[in-house]
A and B are shown apart, each in its own frame.
Chain A
Amino acid sequence: MRNFLLVARREYMEQIRGRAFLLTTILLPALFACVIGVGYLSSLGLGSNKHLAVLSNNPVLADLIRQRLTRKKESKTTVDVFAPASIEDRARLLKQVQERSIDGLLEVVSSGQGLPEATYSSPSSGDFITTSRMTGAINDSLVKERLTRSGMPTSDADALIKGITIQTFQVKKDGSVIKSNAVASFYKGYVMAFLLSMTTVVYGLNVARSIIQEKTSRIFEVMLAIAEPEDLLAGKLIGVGAVGLTQILIWVTAAGLMLVTPLAASTLSGDFEVHFSWVEAVLFPVYFVLGYFLYSALFAGLAATCETEQELQMFTPLAAVPVWLSFAMILLIINDSNSVWSVAASLFPPCTPIIMFLRMGSQVPPTWQILLSIVLMLLSIWGVLWLSSRLYRIGILMYGKRATLPEILRWLRYS
């Protein structure tokens, strides 16, 4: 017990003082923030700052289109209207497009009661965002023009075009009803699942790398003359796992502190309001620990059969495939988080931590499913540890070449 604690403490201290820990603890959330921030900023700027010309034989429709394209949200767009326009106007505007002095020319030609014909000419062939905005603008303007022409007040026409927004509420098991946002909830589950998959796999591979380094530097030879292999393996798993938990604790604390700031309060409100339940707060570290032990125990055994980190890379798909599989099921889970497939996948131990949190994005799964998933994971960890400790016990003393499958099977028989 004493040796196991000493080994765990050494592992913990070495990793926590390492540059990699500092970098990942600070950089990973910073990277996340950057990705989200850049995505948000670029979405604000999409399609803006355009200088467009609208050419039409219907001045009312052309002006409605201009209003729609320059409304508050997209006020950076400049729209010049030419209605009615001459052939010379068209030629001049096309020349301006050619010379890049305007970004595009939208032509809307009305013909009686039928739908008008619309064409858009621009120097860029792939500006689908502007094209999409203009399609919306033309359709809305056309509906408004027809409705007002038939006598409907402008405000009624605007209200109809704006349409309705459905308010979503989540009814909790205790009967309480809270306002919810399906998209925000999904992203919350997605981010938590992503963090779980990253940390469990990264720390699992950390254990493997550490074993290979100790094998290469022959430290095992000294350590085994003092401690039992089981103490070394357990100490390493606990020590590295504690580093992961420390990192998660730092992230959660930092996120908690940020959430109470006025900026976060104003940003994460309304459509972006996200609710965290205590169940999620408890299950996140629980599934991290279970996922970490499953992957790290597996990789510890495999690392003991390798001589170099390059040889270990051969086994990395064993960690990557469950992660890919879990994220590939996102659409299925969004559609119905309680379908047979979603439940079955969330009970498959290598996928459990990720899929459980993806499911929690929609709703917290029934208690029996959570408990069953934990029991299944514990059984899997026990099985993998049983196998890995046998490989580890012999593998760490085998030098020279990577073990072949028949050799690995023989090791299992020996121990």
Chain B
Amino acid sequence: MPVVELAGVTKAYENKVAVSNLSFSIDAGQMFGLLGPNGAGKTSSIRMMLGITMPDSGRVSLFGKPFERGSLERVGYLPEERGLYKKMKVLEQLVFFGELHGLAAEVARSRATVWAKRMEIDEVLAKKTEELSKGMQQKIQFISSVLHDPGLIIMDEPFSGLDPVNAVLLERTLLELKDEGKAIVFSTHRMDQVEKLCDSICLIDKGRAVLAGKVRDIKASYERNRVIIEYQGSSEFLSSTEVAEAKNFSGHAEIRLKEHGNAQKLLQEAAAVATIYRFELVEPSLEEIFIKTVGGKANA
């Protein structure tokens, strides 16, 4: 039974179609990336999953049942921009959000304390939110979205504002939540994180799903057209007719082959003029696939 399912969902505002006939489903214990350029329809899709707006047609189901507001107590949401009360103290704020999600005040308080320790911010619980850095506020927002132990966690740009150390802490926590069986949806511009964390993705463009499926399968379906060579000797082989683009560093080159370019031929040409220590044919990155799919729009 999918935790969340969108079936043929369409949403239009005035004359603009924000989401058109979108379908995907996410199972428990799955991390799902919702990707797309700005204005593609990601936020509209998330809002429909959360009941903030209703689809014009199609169906949204949560936990195997057609959408009902009661199900939202089992959903956690982390918006892209911090949605916190600046004047409230951190612990009070977390308890308030916990209560809104159906927790008793005492339960929310004790869980907030545990989560604050886990996210390494227990020393700021008595402070006002406005006194904290953007990264700290991001962690508080994250805790408020998981405090009630939701089965579905929806996150929009969860890593924004976090330094590398805290980004790793969040990555680790998300993987733990996934292992606990939570379904996690996240929308992000960071393709490296999607590649590292997500099991499946759905790439939306102009409101339509243009690419969907398991990350592994998607990448495998694309031709391996990138080559990394470590060598000693002449770099003459970089001007081969098989090469579309090359970046040459000291004894290290990153090459993009032409469409249907022959990697074996390139290897022979390189071996003829240089000593090859490493020749690796790598699959395209998700970022490359993304750019290729949405027509070179870089603002994912």
**Interface set of A (CB-CB < 8 Å, partner B):** 3, 6, 10, 14, 18, 217-228, 397, 410
Contacts and interface: CB of A to CB of B under 8 A. Distances in A.
Given A6-B99, A6-B100, A397-B52, A14 B83 contact: no
Contacts of B144: 222
B101 A18 contact: no
Contacts of A10: 85, 88, 96
Interface stretch (B74-82, B188-196, B205-213): B74-82
Contact of B52 (A18, A217, A219, A224): A224
Interface string B46-89: 01001111000000000000000100100101010111111110
Given A217-B81, A220-B83, A223-B83, 13 more contacts: A3-B100, A6-B96, A10-B88, A18-B87, A217-B82, A218-B79, A218-B83, A219-B85, A224-B50, A225-B50, A226-B100, A228-B69, A397-B53
B56 to A, nearest CB: 11
A18 B85 CA distance: 13
B14 interface: yes
B75 A225 contact: yes
A222 B50 CA distance: 10
Interface string B147-164: 000000010000000000
Contacts of A217: 81-86
A125 B273 CA distance: 109
A134 B80 CA distance: 77
Interface in B237-268: none
Nearest to B50: A225
Interface residues of B, number: 27
Contacts of B79: 218, 221-222
A223 B79 CA distance: 10
Question: Most B CB atoms within 10 A — which of A14, A217, A219, A225?
Answer: A225
Nearest to B105: A6
Nearest to A227: B100
5 contacts: A3-B100, A14-B88, A218-B82, A220-B83, A225-B75
A223 B14 CA distance: 25
Contacts of B88: 10, 14
Interface in B174-221: none
Contacts of A219: 83-85
B101 A226 contact: yes
B263 to A, nearest CB: 47
Q: Give 10 nearest A-B pairs by CB, closest first.
A: A222-B83, A225-B77, A218-B81, A221-B79, A225-B50, A219-B83, A224-B52, A218-B83, A226-B100, A221-B83
Nearest to B129: A217
Contacts of A225: 50-52, 72, 75, 77, 154
A410 B14 CA distance: 9
Contact of B72 (A14, A226, A410): A226
A214 to B, nearest CB: 8
A407 B23 CA distance: 30
A149 B100 CA distance: 91
A228 to B, nearest CB: 7
A18 B87 CA distance: 9
Question: Most B CB atoms within 10 A — which of A6, A219, A221, A228?
Answer: A221
Nearest to A3: B100
B140 to A, nearest CB: 11
A110 to B, nearest CB: 76
A18 B86 CA distance: 13
Interface string B135-150: 0000001001000000
A412 to B, nearest CB: 14
Contacts of B51: 225
A228 B83 CA distance: 16
A19 to B, nearest CB: 10
Contacts of A220: 83
A232 to B, nearest CB: 10
A14 B130 CA distance: 14
B81 A221 contact: yes
Contacts of A224: 50, 52
Nearest to B141: A222
B290 to A, nearest CB: 25
Interface in B71-129: 72, 75, 77, 79, 81-88, 96-97, 99-101
B246 to A, nearest CB: 43
A222 B77 contact: yes
B208 to A, nearest CB: 23
Nearest to B51: A225
Contacts of A18: 87
A14 B85 contact: yes
